[in-house]
A and B are shown apart, each in its own frame.
Chain A
Amino acid sequence: MKILVIGSGPTGVHFALSVLKKNHQVTMIDVGTQRPAMALPEENFTGLKQSLDDPVRYFLGEKFDAAILPEPGTDSKYYALPPSKDYVFEAPQFFDFATYGLSPLVSFAAGGLAEAWTGGCYPLNDTELSAFPFSYDDIEPYYGEVARRIGIAGAEDDLARFHPHHDDLSPPPSLDENSARLLARYEDRRATLISKHKIIMGRSRYAVLTEGRDGRGGCRYCGRCLWGCPNQAFYTPSLTLRECVAHANFTYRAGFFASYFRLAPDSSIAHLVAYAVKGCGRETFCADAYILACGTISTSNLILRSVYKSTREIIRLTGLTDNRQVLAPFINLAMLGRSYNPDSYQYHQLAVGMLSADSSQYIHGQITTLKTATVHPLIANLPLDFKTAISLFSDFRSGLGVLTLFFNDWRREDNYLTLEQTSIDGARDTWPRLSIHYTPPEDDPARIDSALAKLRRFFYDLRAPIIPGLTRISPVGSGVHYSGTLPMSREKKSWCLSENCQSYDIPNLFIVDGAAMPFLPAKNLTFTLMANAVRVAERAF
């Protein structure tokens, strides 16, 4: 079968790899912005500052955009994506959108948004899958398959009650001292803490290899995670793309922006029309099956444009969801005045889960202890002059950490993507642009306050108090877990998908990215998306 996959993000590459193994012919269309060469791969984080010719340019960017300044009228942030990840967010000129209430991050890079992810890999349990047309048992083998492919580190601990234990978990990297002391304190008082706070702590699950395999190195604790892992111990989808490219049946056509599907009279796709990103070339691509895997925003855009091109009708794709994120810095007093080692794994190594009477309202948190993150935003956020703040920061740095909380989201009719006319004279040949509409749930402030109050007490009992006044609710869209606009549904409905992610409206179209999620639990969704893409590849092809 000839299969056309659009997008090289985590779902596209894992779907492609699975169908390639079944000897299908696969062509992948992608803008495919490439990652620049890795700077001095042998150096560790601190060595980079000494060895680079122009370290400030590397760390802050040519226009110093990665310096986070206390700008008036903006919420202060604690970190920004480093310039070495700028390529992930470069967009082609064809892509234009307006937003109302949600500022999305969109990627056209080879590997997609997950080239800049933090690696969290948490399977969904049956409660979280209740809105899906399959159970945990149905998807469990595919979680295992993805874990085998990408390498997921984790432990079977208290958190297993929220995150089912699938095959092929590998031992996690060594904990940094701050995380180790925090976990030890929790384990010492485990029973009391759980019964008092209904909060559980354990090891994170994350996509990193501790020992090298398949041409990738194991984590060497160089401290460069945030800036780009130099020996590929940390998984990104471009590694699987590389695996696909090695297959004889795989054709990778980078440099194309997928514009719209030409629909045949029977509503099936006749072909895809794509434009060359450089120059003004246009090409059409035909296949037996078309797989949309370019992320919820781009996938929805392509469907909206295809319908518009075919019928001149502007439709709405409703149900856009995203995880609300809250960042709460804390200080582990057990680390006060101690040294710390920047040569360590940088992303979250611990996680917390909040028990609730309604288990669908699970709240997930990830604990990142700060080692090599840029310090100037933290120092500037302290309510002290810089001199005092720097001095105290030196003493407290080894104990600093940030708790990142995720809140679930569910599909609502008033959150949608559509097209809007931008041409004043309404010229028929002008493409209307994508517009994104989102309003957070009404109870957002209440549930955030309630969760934070519980977590403050829990962290206080861990002797790691959350620092007053520094908690930040991230702007809507910062969660980067957009989903839900073309959901799987047991019921045959317009602009929904079957159990195997086949469109009910367009028979030769399958959608395997976040758009297919009927519910967004309070967990990183990428692992589930990859597993679902493999599930679809195995069951439908």
Chain B
Amino acid sequence: MIEPDGSRLNIAQKDSSHGGPAADSANAAAGHLLLIDREIDVFSRYLVNEAPTDYIRKQYSMAVVARRLANDDELSTFDRATLNLARRHVSFTRFTDAYCTIFHRHGVMRRKLTLLLAILEHTAPIATQFDRPKVRGPVSAVANLLVQGATFSLSLIAGTLLLLPAQLLSLKQAAKGGGRGQ
């Protein structure tokens, strides 16, 4: 986006120093892009243990816009809280996801994770994880079921400790103000 002589950069800096609605809007857009970039990185590692490729980044950035999930400002207080927490680290994504799958199933975070999963499952070579998963055999599969069940339970407890107060608070605010608490 920078011209060889750097003129574009200078103009942007000038606009920014003047402030005003245009600069605020540009800053907000840049902020959203940074958040989405951070989000896709964490979410991709969470879902498939791999960093996203440039192709996946580009697809996800377009997808959240197309499916109207790009702008945090349009979200409810609790949806923003779940996203802010989930973006911090893969572990927090898991805690948040475990909580949301039970108590906030149609929330924005799960919609975003589903959207990214839809992209990942159709993009080689990550798609192989879904099309030709490793075969464990029946005994290991049952063992994995137990381990995963226990991990989910612990994640759910952690998620509840982190998010239940925020959800109750946002519900209370919504009831008071008739706003977008949920």
Contact = CB atoms under 8 A, between A and B. Distances in A.
A118 B134 CA distance: 30
Interface in B107-143: 110-111, 113-115, 117-119, 121-125, 127-142
Interface string A101-142: 000000000000000000000000000000000000000000
Contact of A339 (B66, B130, B135): B135
> How many B residues are at the interface, by size bracket?
35 or more
A152 to B, nearest CB: 30
Interface of A: 45-46, 49-50, 55-56, 58-60, 63-64, 66-73, 336-339, 342, 372, 374-377, 379-380, 383-388, 390-392, 394-397
A64 B63 contact: yes
A384 B119 contact: no
Main secondary structure of the interface of B (DSSP, over half): helix
A396 B148 CA distance: 13
6 contacts: A46-B127, A50-B125, A337-B141, A374-B122, A387-B94, A396-B141
**Which among B62, B97, B122 has the highest number of chain A CB atoms within 10 Å?**
B122
A380 B123 contact: no
A412 to B, nearest CB: 34
A336 B140 CA distance: 10
Interface string B96-107: 011001100110
B98 A397 contact: no
Nearest to B101: A385
Nearest to B144: A395
B121 to A, nearest CB: 5
A53 B142 CA distance: 39
A49 B123 contact: yes
A376 B120 CA distance: 9
B151 interface: yes
Interface in B29-81: 46-48, 55, 59, 62-63, 66-67
Given A56-B122, A336-B141, A397-B133, 7 more contacts: A49-B123, A50-B125, A55-B122, A56-B55, A58-B122, A60-B119, A395-B141
Contacts of B145: 392, 395
The 7 closest A-B pairs by CB, nearest first: A337-B141, A394-B133, A67-B118, A72-B106, A395-B141, A385-B97, A385-B98
Nearest to A55: B122
Contacts of B155: 385, 388
Contacts of B140: 337
A309 B76 CA distance: 51
Contacts of B106: 70-73
A385 B129 CA distance: 18
Contacts of B55: 56
B122 A394 contact: no
A392 B151 CA distance: 12
A67 B114 contact: yes
Interface of B: 46-48, 55, 59, 62-63, 66-67, 94, 97-98, 101-102, 105-106, 110-111, 113-115, 117-119, 121-125, 127-142, 144-145, 148-149, 151-152, 155-156
Contacts of B141: 336-337, 395-396
Nearest to A51: B124
Contacts of B132: 46, 339, 342
A195 B59 CA distance: 54
**Which among B63, B130, B142 has the highest number of chain A CB atoms within 10 Å?**
B130
A489 B141 CA distance: 58
B114 A56 contact: no
A64 to B, nearest CB: 4
Given A64-B66, A337-B141, A388 B151 contact: yes
Contacts of B136: 337, 395
A67 B133 contact: no
Contact of A49 (B98, B124, B151): B124
A396 B138 CA distance: 10
A228 to B, nearest CB: 16
A69 B67 contact: yes
Given A49-B122, A64-B115, A380 B135 contact: no
A348 B176 CA distance: 52
Given A46-B127, A60-B122, A387 B135 contact: no
Nearest to A377: B114
A380 B129 CA distance: 16
A336 B123 CA distance: 26
B117 A376 contact: yes
Contacts of B110: 70, 380
A374 B152 contact: no
A311 to B, nearest CB: 47
**Which among B101, B136, B137 has the highest number of chain A CB atoms within 10 Å?**
B101
Given A64-B67, A386-B46, A55 B115 contact: no
A391 B113 contact: no
Contacts of A384: 98, 101, 148, 152
